[in-house]
Chains A and B, each alone.
Chain A
Amino acid sequence: MPPAEPIVPPPPDRVARAAGTSARLTRATADPPWARALIIAAALIFLALFLVIPLAAVFVAAFAQGVGVYLAAVTNPEARSAIRLTLMTAAIAVPLNMVFGLAAAWAITRFDFRGKNLLTTLIDLPFAVSPVIAGMLYVLLFGAQGLLGRSLADRNIRIIFAVPGIVLATIFVTLPFVARELIPVMEASGTEEEQAAITLGATGWQTFWRVTLPKVKWGLLYGVIICNARAMGEFGAVSVVSGHIRGLTDTMPLYIEILYNDYDFAAAFAVASLLTSLALVTLLAKRFLGRRITDAPRVAAEGPGVDRRAA
């Protein structure tokens, strides 16, 4: 078999030395250098203008009045309460959606049942519905004037304008992420390995933990990370159900908006920079995992001629 054509054109001296045909082929399929430079520059400039500069601006604004103001802004009781609420909401919503996502992906890829198509469509619903409407749904259900509002009030259970509402709205908005990430992974991996495990004497539980979960774990983690990013950053749905009680029902995004509306820019950007850092950490984790997924041993190497020995 001839060696594969290099994707990156080899340096000129090697092109000159390479055999005629392959060198000509390489040149014929590669873009001219000026086109490459132009395309790369366009992408980088765009990225800088719309992403890097605004992102940097957040941090610049956060520290505009000095480190002291920054620290005070992120450590005052209201800010700490907002940070705690955001982390708690994510800590509840993400595991729940992980379990739901696994179950849904399992059901959709492994079983045939009535309503499967409906389930597949419904999983995407939170993507299609505006987050504000998602919040409104919960107000309609659990609010004082809502369907269940009266009986909840009788039992002294508060959902709307309280933490449970925030958690519920977050779960709703982040519901599709894990399932969406897992379904294609599980579809592609098939069921033969599971069947093999069962014929080897593994129980269903052993098969799940030892075969299925390791097979889909990178997909699952990827879904969880995206789910977490959204859970921490969600604004619209949470804003509707929160009631904006300072120090009680303000998540980080809501708190930032309040500070901003109060013209407390330094504090607003300080908290914003914290939220941004969380997002950046999440993205870095995702990037790291993405590399793990592609780096998984995939290179086929021939063993030392054992097929011949077998003859």
Chain B
Amino acid sequence: MSIEVRHIRKTFGNFVALDDVSLDLPTGELVALLGPSGSGKTSLLRIIAGLEPPDAGEVHFDREEATNRSARERKVGFVFQHYALFKHMTVFENVAFGLRVRPRATRPPPAAITAKVNELLKLVQLEWAGERYPSQLSGGQRQRIALARALAVEPRVLLLDEPFGALDAKVREELRRWLRRLHDELHITSIFVTHDQEEALELANRVVVLHNGKIEQIGTPDELYHSPATPFVYNFLGNVNLFHGRIEDGQVYIRGTSLPANGGQPDLAHANGKDAMVYVRPHLLDMNLRPIVKGAFAATVRHINAAGPKVKVELTSQWGDPVQVEIDHDRLRELQLEPGVEVYLSPRENRVFVYQI
């Protein structure tokens, strides 16, 4: 089912949770609503589900206005961060709930309900757990039951509110991969909320980045990572170094040192004399012992962390700002770095955002 959200606005007292948000999601996608806490992502999900009324705006399901339909009538599957399983019912009864509460005319016969529930328990790989109570299962198992319960009513769309937020890192990763496969199998339009950029980039085929109740960017994980539209998106998706500079003659200058503008940059010629922010990812800074590259700037090594696939080096730039660089272990040996050494950094690739004043 396709979902369209038009000019949604939602406030809680003086706090604007969503400010004129519009969104168009085609059928069958796995979409992430990504943003920091307070960005409005959960509110948007709950408005789509019908659990929260918007102050203004419309929600359309398959080109049909659904804003005034109740959560009950929308036929969405909703998965809560803390599972919200019915504690007094067995796992089997939890999954059967949506079928049992149907009006008699559309309620499947008991044998069909049993068959359906068993099929779903098999799908979430918990067929042995039917007679257990939710409290007897681990967090990851509970969340899979919550998912099976939501799928039992054959929803047209699956909405997941921070589905992995309450789980520990290892389980979270497993469940993430599992959900990806499940979606590939079922092709049900799914939207999940997360504040974890890694989760969004890995799982979704489309990511909506929200910030302060507005959409910052919509795109595939690739687009988002490689051509972020705003400083916020660049910042939010991975570590980044920030330099404040000025644009002169189509070049970015940071206190007198010019940085070469490269690939995919906005045309800087018209921005002459304006302030700019330069973003460079830690792994896109080259490190040398001499200023052999044009536009290199000096920095002093402060701390070296070699535990990991890459070496993380913390430095202080010649202007006194902290800088993070990631280099290979081989390069670390070549340079023979230690705290206090002065090196020269040059961005292989950077991204310039001009202040719109």
Question: When A215-B87, A303-B128, A309-B125 are in contact, do A197 and B97 touch as well, CB less than 8 Å?
Answer: yes
Q: Which residues of A contact B98 (CB under 8 A)?
A: 200-202
Q: Quote the shortest CB–CB distance from B111 to chain A (angstroms).
A: 20
Q: Is residue A198 within 8 Å, beta carbon to beta carbon, of the partner chain?
A: yes
* Binary per-residue interface labels of chain A (270-310) against chain B in the complex, 1 for a CB within 8 Å, 0 otherwise: 00000000000000000000000000111111111011111
Q: Which residues of A contact B259 (CB under 8 A)?
A: none
Q: How far apart are the CA atoms of A285 and B87 in the complex, in Å? A: 24
Q: Quote the shortest CB–CB distance from A239 to chain B (angstroms).
A: 42
Range for the number of chain B residues in contact with chain A? 35 or more
| Interface residue ranges of B145-174 to A (CB < 8 Å) | 146, 149-150, 152-153, 171, 174
Q: Is residue B226 within 8 Å, beta carbon to beta carbon, of the partner chain?
A: no
Question: When A200-B153, A300-B135, A310-B175 are in contact, do A215 and B101 touch as well, CB less than 8 Å?
Answer: no
Q: Is residue B239 within 8 Å, beta carbon to beta carbon, of the partner chain?
A: no
Name which of A23-31, A101-109, A158-166, A203-211 contacts chain B.
A203-211
| Interface residue ranges of B37-83 to A (CB < 8 Å) | 49-51, 70-72, 74-78, 80, 82
- Cβ A201 vs Cβ B153 within 8 A: yes
* Binary per-residue interface labels of chain A (86-125) against chain B in the complex, 1 for a CB within 8 Å, 0 otherwise: 0000000000000000000000000000000000000000
Q: Which residues of A contact B97 (CB under 8 A)?
A: 197, 200, 202, 210
- Cβ B82 vs Cβ A306 within 8 A: no
Q: How far apart are the CA atoms of A297 and B132 in the complex, in Å? A: 9
Range for the number of chain A residues in contact with chain B? 20 to 34
- Cβ B77 vs Cβ A301 within 8 A: no
Q: Is residue A199 within 8 Å, beta carbon to beta carbon, of the partner chain?
A: yes
Q: Which residues of A contact B149 (CB under 8 A)?
A: 196, 200
* Binary per-residue interface labels of chain A (225-243) against chain B in the complex, 1 for a CB within 8 Å, 0 otherwise: 0000000000000000000
Q: Quote the shortest CB–CB distance from B232 to chain A (angstroms).
A: 31
Q: Is residue A193 within 8 Å, beta carbon to beta carbon, of the partner chain?
A: yes
Q: How far apart are the CA atoms of A300 and B87 in the complex, in Å? A: 12
- Cβ A311 vs Cβ B174 within 8 A: yes
- Cβ A307 vs Cβ B141 within 8 A: yes
Q: Which residues of B contact A299 (CB under 8 A)?
A: 135-136
Q: Which residues of A contact B84 (CB under 8 A)?
A: 192-193, 195-196
- Cβ A297 vs Cβ B135 within 8 A: yes
Tell which of A202, A215, A311 touches B88, judged by Cβ atoms closer than 8 Å: A215
Q: Is residue B293 within 8 Å, beta carbon to beta carbon, of the partner chain?
A: no
**Given A297-B133, A311-B174, list of 16 further CB < 8 A pairs?**
A195-B84, A196-B85, A196-B146, A198-B72, A199-B74, A199-B76, A200-B101, A200-B153, A300-B136, A301-B137, A302-B138, A303-B137, A306-B125, A306-B141, A307-B171, A310-B140
* B residues with CB within 8 A of A: 49-51, 70-72, 74-78, 80, 82, 84-89, 97-98, 101-102, 125-126, 128-129, 132-133, 135-138, 140-141, 144, 146, 149-150, 152-153, 171, 174-175, 177-178
